[in-house]
Structure 1
Amino acid sequence: MQAFPAEKPFAATEAVKVTAHLGLRYKHVTVDDFNAGGFSYRNESANLFEQNVCAFPRRRPASRAD
């Protein structure tokens, strides 16, 4: 499996930083022969691409007085 993520942090407010995430994954899958529900499946392979998009908040740590 190969993964290619990209992230971009930006400030939503002074206290909250949001990170936008875009990911692309590649998988090569090989399936064995099997029978299910009256159907017969022969050995096949597939190239799968998955894309995910999300954004998640990250709170900035509170500053400490020394």
Structure 2
Amino acid sequence: MPTGEPICPTCGQALTGGGLVLMDREEDGKRTCRALWKCEERHLWWVWADRPASALDPCPDTELFVD
């Protein structure tokens, strides 16, 4: 994910931070956080917190995090 204000890949609106979720990463067995990002259209994305330059992934559990 590039630096600066993140943009929703679905609707093009600005994303706002929604917190961190601690998880186990399957590919390397590390326990690390995913940073949540959401837009006004309620699209929810996340990225590994220790890999901020990586691409946003759609969050599969949107009903757990959208208010």
- TM-score after normalising by structure 2: 0.30
More helix per residue: 1 or 2? 2
More strand per residue: 1 or 2? 1
Q: Which has the higher contact order (CA 8 A, sep 6+)?
A: 1
- TM-score after normalising by structure 1: 0.30
Larger radius of gyration: 1
